[in-house]
């Protein structure tokens, strides 16, 4: 076909202008339904060609026409499937791929082509939300994507940016804000275990641990904020703890708890990060949880009850990597004997500082678990601060 070029008139030009206008390329002064290939049209065609990696000549030949045709599709306007041998292409395919990528599905690159890999990712998504995994994106799948998309959009892309920002920011902790959240407090003591004339409470133990952590982080140049004092009147709800961390612009949020169980044999440490049953997860939250969990297990020998994804308010509403650690069972005689020892709580604080530090090491420079000497680190930081 002969390229449609500046000076041409007719319904084909109107069609081109309509698509360019919908893409916000035509400019507000130009009427999309006009039928002449004027200077506005030419400029818009060039911008479009540039944005799609096509050769920029300001004319609409076969290649540019196909790209324009693909660009008119909005996600949800048609059913998408893996067509053979001529695969479906379009902006809707690209939007779908970007959404799947944000949710952690492997579609390769968002290339706007509905190929095998995209179809497989759609099938995986369908299986996880309980739909027939046929790899075809029709109305039901679109509804499921919209439903989940609301939860994910704003969350996941932000987390990706976050982990990028962390990687680019270098290994220093100086100037970061860490919010440490000792669980419970006020009228809520958390787990309570009588011990002769004494009475151990989760609220008191995690507050003590939080202040040890505060001291160590502050010594590393971190701004630390606790979500509560040692003896406040009311217990702050988790929603408000999350809002507090957001309003402080925290870089990391760490909530400290101990566990309790009717069976005294239950013991160990577990760390929780944001995530849902559908495999949606906070990538940086998950990484921080893994580091905290591994550092604590390596340094204390507490039983490894692993990391888990939860959609709790505290983890869902915080806009920074956030974890909740359940450090030991107060109801386990073994765990309790260790938790009530202040030196053990010092070791726990060191483990959490090492984990937070490792968040800021570039991935390729990360170190083996249990190997960071926090006091050495402080010396390095102190030396760095003098130079500054």
Contact flag: residue 190 with Zn ion (CB under 5 A): yes
Cα 75 from chain centroid? Answer: 24
**Terminal-to-terminal C-alpha distance of the chain:** 66
Stretch that binds Zn ion, among 94-102, 178-186, 230-238, 311-319 (CB under 5 A): 178-186
Output 90 or 190, the one with its CB closest to Zn ion: 190
Subset of 194-213 contacting Zn ion (CB under 5 A): none
362, 167 Cβ separation under 8 angstroms: yes
Shortest Å distance, C-beta 239 to Zn ion: 16
Output 121 or 205, the one with its CB closest to Zn ion: 205
81 Ramachandran zone, left/alpha/beta (phi>0; psi -120 to 50):
beta
Shortest Å distance, C-beta 382 to Zn ion: 35
Residue closest to Zn ion when measured from CB atoms: 257
Shortest Å distance, C-beta 190 to Zn ion: 4
Distant-in-sequence contacts of 336-339, Cβ < 8 A, 24+ apart: 336/193, 336/195, 336/200, 338/300, 338/302, 339/200, 339/205, 339/258
Longest dimension (CA), the chain: 95
Shortest Å distance, C-beta 204 to Zn ion: 12
Stretch that binds Zn ion, among 183-191, 225-233, 241-249, 262-270 (CB under 5 A): 183-191
Shortest Å distance, C-beta 270 to Zn ion: 12
Subset of 238-257 contacting Zn ion (CB under 5 A): 257
Q: Show the tokens assigned to 61.
A: 């030949």
Contact flag: residue 290 with Zn ion (CB under 5 A): no
Shortest Å distance, C-beta 183 to Zn ion: 4
Output 61 or 264, the one with its CB closest to Zn ion: 264
22 Ramachandran zone, left/alpha/beta (phi>0; psi -120 to 50):
alpha
Contact flag: residue 183 with Zn ion (CB under 5 A): yes
By residue count, the chain amounts to: 388
Output 190 or 290, the one with its CB closest to Zn ion: 190
Q: Show the tokens assigned to 212.
A: 């040890």
192 Ramachandran zone, left/alpha/beta (phi>0; psi -120 to 50):
beta
Output 188 or 373, the one with its CB closest to Zn ion: 188
- Distances in Å between the alpha carbon of 202 and those of 186, 192, 247, 258, 263? 12, 6, 27, 6, 17
Shortest Å distance, C-beta 255 to Zn ion: 9
Count of residues that bind Zn ion according to CB under 5 A: 3
Contact flag: residue 182 with Zn ion (CB under 5 A): no
Output 190 or 275, the one with its CB closest to Zn ion: 190
Residues 6+ apart with CB under 8 A from 102: 152, 153, 156, 157, 160
Output 163 or 331, the one with its CB closest to Zn ion: 331
Q: State the residues that interact with Zn ion by CB under 5 A.
A: 183, 190, 257
């Amino acid at each position: 076909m002969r390229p449609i070029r500046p000076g041409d008139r007719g319904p084909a030009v109107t069609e081109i202008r309509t698509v360019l206008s919908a893409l916000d390329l035509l400019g507000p002064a130009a009427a999309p339904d006009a039928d002449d290939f004027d200077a506005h049209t030419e400029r818009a065609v060039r911008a479009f060609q540039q944005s799609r990696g096509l050769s920029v000549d300001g004319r609409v030949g076969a290649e540019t026409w196909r790209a324009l045709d693909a660009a008119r599709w909005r996600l949800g306007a048609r059913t998408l499937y893996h067509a053979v041998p001529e695969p479906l292409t379009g902006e809707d395919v690209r939007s779908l791929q970007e959404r799947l990528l944000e949710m952690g599905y492997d579609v390769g690159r968002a290339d706007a082509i509905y190929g095998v890999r995209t179809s497989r990712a759609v099938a995986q998504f369908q299986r996880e939300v309980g739909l027939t995994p046929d790899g075809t994106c029709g109305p039901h799948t679109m509804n499921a994507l919209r439903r989940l998309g609301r939860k994910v959009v704003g969350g996941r892309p932000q987390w990706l940016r976050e982990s990028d920002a962390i990687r680019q920011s270098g290994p220093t902790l100086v100037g970061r804000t860490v919010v440490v959240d000792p669980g419970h407090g006020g009228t809520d003591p958390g787990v309570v275990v009588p011990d002769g004339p004494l009475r151990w409470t989760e609220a008191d133990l995690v507050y003590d641990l939080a202040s040890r952590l505060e001291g160590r982080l502050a010594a590393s140049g971190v701004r630390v904020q606790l979500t509560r004092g040692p003896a406040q009147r009311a217990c702050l709800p988790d929603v408000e703890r999350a809002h507090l961390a957001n309003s402080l612009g925290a870089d990391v949020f760490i909530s400290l708890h101990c566990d309790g169980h009717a069976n005294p044999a239950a013991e160990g440490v577990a760390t929780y990060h944001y995530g849902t049953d559908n495999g949606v997860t906070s990538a940086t939250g998950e990484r921080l949880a893994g580091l905290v969990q591994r550092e604590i297990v390596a340094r204390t020998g507490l039983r490894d009850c692993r990391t888990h994804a939860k959609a709790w308010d505290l983890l869902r509403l915080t806009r920074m990597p956030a974890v909740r650690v359940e450090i030991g069972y107060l109801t386990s005689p073994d765990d309790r004997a260790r938790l009530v020892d202040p030196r053990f709580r010092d070791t726990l604080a060191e483990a959490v500082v090492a984990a937070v530090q490792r968040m800021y090491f570039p991935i390729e420079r990360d170190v083996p678990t249990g190997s960071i000497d926090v006091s050495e680190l402080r010396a390095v930081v102190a030396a760095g601060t003098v130079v500054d």
